[in-house]
Amino acid sequence: MDSTVATGSEESVWGGGNRPLNASYGKLMMWFFLVSDALTFSGFLAAYGFSRFKFIETWPIADEVFTHVPFFHGNYPMIYVAFMTFILIMSSVTMVLAVDAGHKMKQNAVIWYMFLTIIGGAIFVGSQAWEWATFIKGDFGAVETKGGRILQFVKADTGERAALADFAKEIADDREVHEKRNGVWFYDEGYQTSFNLNEVTAGLKANPNILIRTETINNEGEKTLLNREQTLEKIKDGVMVVEGANLVRNEYGSRLFADFFFFITGFHGFHVFSGVLINLIIFFNVVIGTYERRGHYEMVEKVGLYWHFVDLVWVFVFTFFYLV
Amino acid sequence: MAHEHKLEIFRGLLKFKSNTQKIWGVLIFLTIVTAVEVVLGILKPEMLTQNSFLGMKLLNWVFIILTLVKAYYIAWDFMHLRDEKSSLRRAIVWTPIFLVAYLVLILLLEADYVYEVYKSGFVEWNF
């Protein structure tokens, strides 16, 4: 399989005939791009490492954050992310098989393997969207202190996390609703948490079974649990209720944690999404027989390189974001 | 471009009859490694979490090494680096490794310094 355009004679060093790396122009350029993209991702992950080492004693524990599996209730740390990893590796395999079939000029096999690859990519992107939705919605809720630290709540008897709804006391008060006609016309009221700080504090005082868990990680690698007196003392530092996550604050802990989650998995998800689109284009080209007429399937190999790279990056994101 | 594929992995310990077979073999290997990672992540064996090396838990070292192993097989067998010329392979692999190792070293040292400042300096941040 040669490059698309035959140029010059093989002896001519300057005519393009000389290929010391024994790879076509397009493939080399794909590698150039992948190396530079790898450096971009490394920059993100290194920045994540920087922030994490900076707050090594208070960083959220990923096992406690990513515990959901769609359609199942309960606590399943890592299971769904492992499933996503497997899906992506699987779609990488079908991609290699497509490239392999392309070498043998088997058009129908390439079509099927490309199709499976695209399905795998779509499942992965969908899973990531679901992960984001779950992460943004949050599940237990927390209180933020004046210094921007997060206080979470635990049931003293079982040691399980307590959701705000489990103990907060509804206090009927008439909060003035911001309306455009009686307030600042260009402001919306914005999102309101389901309980305000007074309700959470009152509920905490009334319910002796609830303890506060701070961000600090103790020697056993778990978050520090305060006793009842410390709990009642600590809640006085609270300034607001936090539910779910956004770019400013999140209920899981350090603010940077959610920022990096959105940036790194978002950037990766965008890569997967564009990979699916590029695969689709090549898929249709294979279907209409473009490469059959061209005489080789090198384009499939080139998009294959991109697709494997996306898988490769996920392997690192999986380790550094979810496992370590 | 070379049509021939090198069909051995694990330094010739395992030889496959065809490229397709090798691909499935590598998939099985990668799946096993991922499964090991997840099981270790859930169990968190005491031996690995209580001991540390260079300021990081042994468990995390295990994860990082297993990740590099996975990355190696993805790049070598899925991205066909095994079949490329060694000069191309080295240009692709060592450039990022050198740059990333340098960046990570600098950033993590700096982060550790900032951590010390927060911990023992006169900055109050946890209130």
Is A5 a member of any domain? Answer: no
Q: Tell me the residue range of the domain where A219 lies.
A: 142-243
Contact at CB, B78 and A146, closer than 8 angstroms: no
Is A157 a member of any domain? Answer: yes
Is A275 a member of any domain? Answer: yes
Query: Final residue of a domain: which of A243, A268, A300?
Result: A243
Contact at CB, A53 and B111, closer than 8 angstroms: yes
Q: Rounded distance, CA A54 to CA A48, Å?
A: 10
Residue type, A233: E
A221 torsion bin: left (phi>0), alpha (psi -120 to 50), beta (else): left
Q: Is residue A46 domain-shared with residue A122, that is, in the same domain?
A: yes
Is A263 a member of any domain? Answer: yes
Q: Is residue A99 domain-shared with residue A185, that is, in the same domain?
A: no
Nearest-CA distance B92 → chain A (Å): 7
Contact A268, A313 (CB under 8 A): yes
Contact at CB, A92 and B74, closer than 8 angstroms: yes
DSSP state, residue B85: -
Neighbours of A3 (CB within 10 A): 16
3-state DSSP helix/strand/coil % of chain A, to nearest 5: 55, 10, 35
Nearest-CA distance A250 → chain B (Å): 16
Q: Is residue A117 domain-shared with residue A262, that is, in the same domain?
A: yes
Contact at CB, A22 and B49, closer than 8 angstroms: no
Q: Is residue A166 domain-shared with residue A212, that is, in the same domain?
A: yes
Sign of CA dihedral A101, A107, A108, A111: positive
Q: Is residue A31 domain-shared with residue A58, that is, in the same domain?
A: yes
Contact A199, A141 (CB under 8 A): no
User: Closest Cα partner for A161 from A234, A80, A208, A225?
Assistant: A225
Element (H, E) at A212: strand A210-217
User: What ipTM does this complex have?
Assistant: 0.89
In tens, the pLDDT along B51-95 reads 888 878 889 999 999 999 999 999 999 998 988 889 999 999 999
Element (H, E) at A250: none
pTM of the model: 0.88
What integer pLDDT is reported at residue A16 of this predicted model?
61
- The structural domain count of chain A equals 2
Is A174 a member of any domain? Answer: yes
Alpha helices in B4-85 (DSSP H): 19-43, 46-50, 58-73
Query: Final residue of a domain: which of A218, A243, A268?
Result: A243
- Distances, alpha carbon A39 to alpha carbons A21, A46, A272, B15, B97, in Å: 22, 10, 17, 34, 9
Q: Which residues of B touch A237 (CB under 8 A)?
A: 127
CATH of the domain at A100: 1.20.120.80
Task: Find the mean pLDDT for residues B7-23.
Answer: 81
> Does any CB of chain B come closer than 8 Å to the CB of residue A96?
yes
The answer on pLDDT for A105 being more than 60 is yes
For helices A25-54 and A266-287, give the axis angle rounded to 10 degrees: 160
Q: Is residue A111 domain-shared with residue A42, that is, in the same domain?
A: yes
Q: Which residues of A touch B71 (CB under 8 A)?
A: 312, 315-316
Is A265 a member of any domain? Answer: yes
Q: Is residue A275 domain-shared with residue A191, that is, in the same domain?
A: no
Q: Which residues of A touch B19 (CB under 8 A)?
A: 100
Helix (H, G, I), strand (E, B) or coil at B119: helix
- Nearest CB to B108; choose among A53, A55, A221: A53
Contact at CB, A237 and B20, closer than 8 angstroms: no
- Nearest CB to B20; choose among A97, A146, A298: A97
Residue type, A160: E
Contact at CB, A1 and B3, closer than 8 angstroms: yes
Query: Final residue of a domain: which of A215, A243, A271?
Result: A243
Sign of CA dihedral A277, A281, A286, A292: negative
Is A50 a member of any domain? Answer: yes
Residue in chain A lying closest to B89 (CA)? A21
Backbone angles phi, psi at A213, to 5 degrees: -115, 125
The answer on pLDDT for A277 being more than 90 is yes
DSSP string, A46-76: HHHHHHHHHTTTTPPPHHHH---BTTB-S--
Contact at CB, A46 and B1, closer than 8 angstroms: no
Of the residues A143, A319, A321, A322, the best mutation for testing chain B's interface (the one with the most B CB atoms within 10 Å of its CB) is A319
The answer on pLDDT for A275 being more than 60 is yes
Residue in chain B lying closest to A57 (CA)? B115
A74 torsion bin: left (phi>0), alpha (psi -120 to 50), beta (else): left
> What pLDDT band is residue A8 in, cutting at 50, 70 and 90?
very low
User: Closest Cα partner for A150 from A48, A223, A77?
Assistant: A223
Strands A150-155 and A210-217, by their bridges, are antiparallel
Is A13 a member of any domain? Answer: no
Q: Rounded distance, CA A13 to CA A28, Å?
A: 18
Q: Is residue A127 domain-shared with residue A264, that is, in the same domain?
A: yes
In tens, the pLDDT along A219-240 reads 878 888 999 999 999 999 999 9
Computed over every residue of chain A, the mean pLDDT equals 89
Q: Is residue A206 domain-shared with residue A166, that is, in the same domain?
A: yes
What integer pLDDT is reported at residue A4 of this predicted model?
53
Strands A223-225 and A210-217, by their bridges, are antiparallel
Q: Which residues of A touch B107 (CB under 8 A)?
A: 46-47, 49-50
Contact at CB, B107 and A50, closer than 8 angstroms: yes
